[in-house]
Homo-oligomer: A and B are copies of this chain.
Amino acid sequence: MFDQHRNKFPLDDDTWNDYISCFHVMQVPAKTVLLKEGEVSKKMFLIEKGCLRAWFNSNGKDITFQFFFENETVASVESFRKKIPSLVTIQSVEPSLVWWIHKRDVDRIIGSLKTFPALQDLFIDAVFERMFEYMKHFFSFIKDTPLQRYLNLLKEKPQLVQRIPQRYIASYLGITTVHLSRIKSKLARNK
């Protein structure tokens, strides 16, 4: 599982082995909550098989904010970093095989590498990348119609549309399931 990530991290083998030995594996059924909105995140996850989603409660409704698939690391980044209550719940969509690591282990290892510029750069790049993703997602909410956003999703992440239930996709696109259904039938008619 971890071998395929080995070359991404400029660590010596001892540190790398220390790092991966901190991971625990778990098999969770669908709809398992891994982190609850309002709790402080103490774990980071890595998905071997399955998928997760981050969602938040909006006036009683469940709004999906992000999806995660195989080989992605998952954390409520703002909560993990700033030790504040998470804005989102993290939950499995499919039955999933997930590795997790304690924040204290991450902190310990990062702490021992404070003066390792290459790793810091990598980390900063990752944060920027995520920020950039958020920006683009936000921009698309303003620039595009729900139809355009759905077409984008079909184009950019076709497997997502296959694997994820409709209602999560609808809330991810910022619309109701009824409206998504209308969009789909409109597309089907014009085909």
Contacts and interface: CB of A to CB of B under 8 A. Distances in A.
Nearest to A129: B82
B143 A141 contact: no
A138 B138 contact: yes
Q: Is the interface of A mostly helix, strand, loop or mixed?
A: helix
18 contacts: A56-B143, A58-B142, A63-B142, A63-B143, A65-B139, A77-B131, A78-B128, A78-B132, A81-B128, A87-B136, A114-B120, A115-B115, A123-B124, A124-B124, A127-B127, A127-B131, A131-B131, A134-B134
Contacts of A139: 56, 58, 65, 87
Contacts of A58: 139, 142-143
Contacts of A124: 120, 123-124, 127
A130 interface: yes
A165 interface: no
Given A87-B136, A115-B115, A134-B138, 15 more contacts: A58-B139, A58-B142, A58-B143, A63-B142, A78-B135, A82-B128, A82-B132, A87-B139, A114-B120, A120-B124, A127-B127, A127-B131, A134-B134, A138-B138, A141-B141
A123 B125 CA distance: 12
A95 interface: no
Contacts of A136: 87
